[in-house]
Amino acid sequence: MQWMPIAAVVVLCGGVAFAGVGGGDLTMKNDGGDTVFSHATHVVDAGLKCQACHPKLYTNTRQHRVVTMAMMEQGQSCGACHDGKAAFSVTERCESCHQQ
């Protein structure tokens, strides 16, 4: 029975690691081609914490608001980080976000 505390820690830590990626991939429909947002790309690959975007930039899918490319170019929504400094600009690498 000595293995039970170890098993409990492994299960709990595994759950925390899994929860860190959050909402998975989100697909947003738009005229420029569907945009896919990957939580894994931002949390795991880029090392961002949930608080980097939530709740300041984004709250949840129910409170989603339409954001135009012009708004993003002015630093709103994705453009807050995708400004060409912190991350590639929203005016570059369109295929990274938009799928035809």
| pLDDT tens column, 21-78 | 677 898 888 888 889 899 999 999 999 998 888 888 887 767 777 888 999 999 999 9
Full set of structural domains in the chain with CATH? 23-99 (3.90.10.10)
Give the residue carrying structure tokens 């880029």: 46
Name the pTM for this structure: 0.69
Between CA 36 and CA 89 the distance in angstroms is 16
Distance of CA 55 to the CA centre of its chain: 12
Between CA 93 and CA 89 the distance in angstroms is 8
